[in-house]
Structures are given as C-alpha cells and as structure tokens.
Amino acid sequence: MDNTKLFQYVQIYNVPTACKTCGGVLVYRGLGEYICELCKEKAYDNYGKTRNYIEENPGASAVEIEKNTGVSKAAIREMLKESRFEIVEGTKSFLRCESCGKEVRSGRYCPECEKNIHIMIEKQQREKLHENMQGFAMNTGGQEGHRRFVRDK
C-alpha cells in the first residue's frame, strides 16, 4: 500500500484520526466505526455516517444524505461506485482488491487490506502524537537550559 492510495482512502472516507474529546488515537472497529483508545468515545467516517443515515432513512437520496450528514455528494458517489451500498446476490464479482488483487464483493479493498490500511493510519497517528510530545519536551528543556546558563553568569 503506497502513501498516495492511503491518502486517497483517508480523503474519500474522511477517516477520523484523533479523538475530538481527548486527542487520543481512534482505532477502527469496522463498518465505518472508530473508538478512541483512551476515552472510548465513538467516531464515524463518511461510510459510517452514510450507513447510519441510510439505516434510519431507507431510500434516502444523495442530496438528502449530504444535507443531513455533511458527507459530500462526491464522496457518496465514490462510495457508490465502489458499490459499498449495493450487494447484489448471485452476480459474479468483477471487483478486485486494489492492493492484493483478491476478488471482493464490494468496496475497493478486501477486508484484510482494509484492516491493514487502518493499522497504518493508526500507526501514523501514534507517531504524530509521539513527535508532538517529544517536540514539546525538547523545547521546554532547551529554554530551561538557556535560563540556567544566563543565571550562572
């Protein structure tokens, strides 16, 4: 999985990476749902939001979904193209996972590759959090050192 594809995936699905409440890493639970590993607050990506809305409002139009969920029509169209919302029984699948080439019934990636994508996103998010913390520690350390040096003189 290269970064361009990962980026596209994050864009189309608007994958939430940090918890709005505490800033913790959001872990993918499947079907567009995420949970914060620190405070257990739930979050949804575009697929999760659209899915929840369709469940409550069967037969909703793309315009209606956009208005009520904030998911753009372009993203909805993209997800429909991947037939994430139509599973036609008995039809031969011509879809293949874009990452490993395995046949898939719906979507762009097979479940294993999708899981891996989320593991990569979560890993990047953890590294980002870690870097921020390190950067902060280094800055304060530097300032203290400088002050001490001036005082000693």
**Residue 133 interacts with Zn ion (CB under 5 A)?**
no
Q: How many CB atoms lie within 10 A of CB 14?
A: 16
Q: Which stretch binds Zn ion (CB under 5 A): 58-66, 68-76, 106-114, 116-124?
A: 106-114
Cβ at position 139, least distance to Zn ion in Å: 25
**Residue 119 interacts with Zn ion (CB under 5 A)?**
no
Tokens of 4: 């361009």
Cβ at position 106, least distance to Zn ion in Å: 13
Closest CA to 49 of 75, 25, 26: 75
Options 7, 22, 61, 74; binder of Zn ion; rule CB under 5 A: 22
Among positions 86-105, residues that touch Zn ion (CB under 5 A) are 97, 99-100, 102
Residue type for 68, please?
Answer: N
Q: How many CB atoms lie within 10 A of CB 103?
A: 11
Among positions 45-74, residues that touch Zn ion (CB under 5 A) are none
Q: Give the Cα-Cα-Cα angle 58, 30, 92 (nearest 5 degrees).
A: 70
Residues 6+ apart with CB under 8 A from 29: 35
Rule CB under 5 A: which residues touch Zn ion? Answer: 19, 21-22, 24, 36, 38-39, 41, 97, 99-100, 102, 110, 113
